[in-house]
Structure 1
Amino acid sequence: MPENYYDKASRFLAKLDPGAFLSWLLRLPASDFVFRGWLDTRGVPFPGDTDRVSDTVAHVENAGANGVPWIVAVEFQTKPDPEMFGRLMGYLSGLWLERKPDTERGSRFHLGAAVVNLTGSGSASREMIWPAAGLYSQLRVVERNLELESAEELLVGIEAGHWAPALLPWLPLMSGGDTSDIIDRWKVLAGGEPDRRRKAQMAAIAMLFATKTGRKAIWQTKLEGWNVDESEYVNEWMARGEVREAQQLILRIGAKKLGPAPEGVEVVVRAIQDRARLERIADRIFDAPGWGDLVATV
């Protein structure tokens, strides 16, 4: 299974219920922060991934500090990246320079980062101190290593109403996520989802993650009768993600060749859902005389 299947599934889950996800991720009561939305981070590429634009950069406000605005960059890793500290430092600096919470002069975001490792245990935080020289640098990252998280604790939290059911698909990645009793309780909670499509999506992602951890057999047996077709939803996420990436590539590379895209042109590009046509447009970027001619490509 290609790694970006898991990445896209993780991003989909984060956006399924952003408030609930961030509350769990940051270990904060929902009343302690206000989620303002996911920031448009085009133009601030993640170091090492020049063609990928992160779409899980949250704008949140600290409710206990008069609404201080924060950027929280959320990264999902199939396995820990030993260079994550350096990559986050580069990414956060770009966000701080390029994005502002409002138009007031001198207004800046506070910066934070969180990493979710689907497997393995990472160490993205660093503290560097040289007392005699007066030098001190630190990046403290919220890091959730799912293989060390307790499936039992997650279920208890959801059963008690402390956490939202939207967190259920992560459970197969957690410690104890392959036991019969745990999966039976998972089914009860997931079965209470009134939206049939969302229920199917949650089950499909759970099966996808169970496959990653070698637990597919027991989950498949336990979910018999649920009519889970993870391939249908995985293909849907992949197609949607590939279209977005193609649109972003055209707008970013086109801006370098033709100048910034006029607002109307950007709307046209983002409305194109045909991947083949987007590829044809991308192929013409360096030959087209202008944006109008480029987006007229059929």
Structure 2
Amino acid sequence: MSKPFDATSKDLLETDPAGWVRYLTRADPQGAVRVVDADVSTVTADADKVIRVDGPTPGLLHLEFQANADAWLVPRLLGYNTLLYNRHQVFVSTYVVLLRSFSGASALTGRWPISPPFGPRWEFKYTVIRIWECSPTDFLTGSLALIPLAPLTARDPAALPEIVNRMGDRIRVDADRPLAAKLWASTYVLLGLRYDTDIIDRLLEGVLQMEESTTYQALLARGEARGMTLGRLVEVRAILARQGSKRFGPLPPTVAAALEGITDLGHLEGLADRILDVHSWDELLSTP
């Protein structure tokens, strides 16, 4: 079953794929950057997210966001790596982003030695990012799409208010209202990986009440800024963006803003149900 943080993390990656490339590789991409179809097979689940970086040496970055133990994670990573290479015919770099500590996380070392009973031994390598070991500055000063990860770096809950205040300062200066709403909604969902709803509400209440956006006020007033409901809002928007882009072409900024402005979950789910019955973004949004 899809979890709220799955859609949230994928949505953040789609917000600024080039920003994620800069964070992961510590370098500016040397060519066009775009999120590509992560469907690697008709017989297996999608990989989390895949970014293609074009240029003199094109390649793929495959990201898996993980918050719980999964005994078969590394074998799946190897399978995705191979299938993506076969489909796109460029080399693949695999990154595992651990959103919280869990039993077995220490076993994810970035190396999987493979010793078959016949033939040579070999090794599959991947990069592991443990968010709780990172500095909040890593996420507060880079791409806006990384900001919601900053609170997950706090080793002590007492550090959270300062991190949230710094987030608010940056978002108010650099993000327009639709993007700001998305960033705070994503923050709410990701904080739910570590903290109770009451703690999150108290932490974010002051920040949200200072904002002028009616989107924030609607979320708070209707009680829709609650774990699974808010996660579902983000998830359905991500589904609409992905499926609509395949059907109608790239998501226009005006449509993205319109989707962000819809805080009624039933309305969004209705749009998702009708997406195969219309022929354009405008027709989808104008459907009663």
TM range, normalised to the smaller chain? 0.5 to 0.7
Provide the residue aligned with 1:15 in structure 2: 14
Q: Which of these two proteins has the greater Rg computed from alpha carbons?
A: 1
| Residue 83 (str. 1) matches residue 72 (str. 2) | yes
Provide the residue aligned with 1:37 in structure 2: 34
Q: CA distance change for structure 1 residues 39 and 124 in 2, over 3 Å: closer, same or farther?
A: farther
Provide the residue aligned with 2:200 in structure 1: 216
Greater helix proportion? 2
User: Which structure's relative contact order is higher, taking Cα pairs within 8 Å and 6+ residues apart?
Assistant: 2
Provide the residue aligned with 1:197 in structure 2: 178
| Residue 68 (str. 1) matches residue 49 (str. 2) | no
Provide the residue aligned with 2:135 in structure 1: 150
SS of the residue aligned with 1:207?
helix
User: AA paired with 1:77?
Assistant: Q
| Residue 173 (str. 1) matches residue 166 (str. 2) | no
Between 3-12 and 90-99, the greater mean CA deviation after superposition:
90-99
| Aligned-partner Cα distance in 1 for 2:109–2:6 | 18
| Aligned-partner Cα distance in 2 for 1:177–1:219 | 14
Provide the residue aligned with 1:183 in structure 2: 164
Provide the residue aligned with 1:262 in structure 2: none
SS of the residue aligned with 1:34?
coil
Kindly state the Cα deviation for residue 82 of structure 1 after the two structures are TM-superposed.
2.9
Provide the residue aligned with 1:25 in structure 2: 24
- TM-score norm. by structure 2 comes to 0.67
Please report the RMSD computed on the Cα atoms of aligned residues, expressed in angstroms. Answer: 3.7
Provide the residue aligned with 2:282 in structure 1: none
| Aligned-partner Cα distance in 2 for 1:14–1:33 | 19
User: AA paired with 1:116?
Assistant: V
- TM-score norm. by structure 1 comes to 0.65
- Aligned-residue sequence identity (percent) comes to 18
| Aligned-partner Cα distance in 2 for 1:129–1:25 | 26
Contact 2:13–2:20 (8 Å) recurs in 1:
yes
Contact 1:151–1:171 (8 Å) recurs in 2:
yes
Q: CA distance change for structure 1 residues 13 and 45 in 2, over 3 Å: closer, same or farther?
A: farther
From 224, 236, 239, give the equivalent of 1:239: 236
| Aligned-partner Cα distance in 2 for 1:84–1:11 | 18
| Aligned-partner Cα distance in 1 for 2:17–2:243 | 25
Q: CA distance change for structure 1 residues 267 and 211 in 2, over 3 Å: closer, same or farther?
A: closer
| Aligned-partner Cα distance in 1 for 2:48–2:13 | 10
Q: CA distance change for structure 1 residues 69 and 183 in 2, over 3 Å: closer, same or farther?
A: same
Provide the residue aligned with 1:4 in structure 2: 3
Describe the superposition over 1:159-192 as per-residue Cα deviations: whole angstroms up to 9, x where unpaired. Answer: xxxx223321111211257423222222111221
Query: What 5-or-longer segments of structure 2 have no aligned partner?
Result: 220-224, 249-269, 278-288
Kindly state the Cα deviation for residue 125 of structure 1 after the two structures are TM-superposed.
2.6
| Residue 57 (str. 1) matches residue 50 (str. 2) | yes
Contact 2:65–2:99 (8 Å) recurs in 1:
yes
| Aligned-partner Cα distance in 2 for 1:54–1:80 | 17
Kindly state the Cα deviation for residue 69 of structure 1 after the two structures are TM-superposed.
1.7
Describe the superposition over 1:211-241 as per-residue Cα deviations: whole angstroms up to 9, x where unpaired. Answer: 2211514422442413362468644333245
| Residue 137 (str. 1) matches residue 134 (str. 2) | no
Query: What 5-or-longer segments of structure 1 have no aligned partner?
Result: 101-108, 248-265, 281-298
Contact 2:132–2:155 (8 Å) recurs in 1:
no
* Residues paired across the two proteins, number: 237
Provide the residue aligned with 2:86 in structure 1: 97
Kindly state the Cα deviation for residue 89 of structure 1 after the two structures are TM-superposed.
1.0
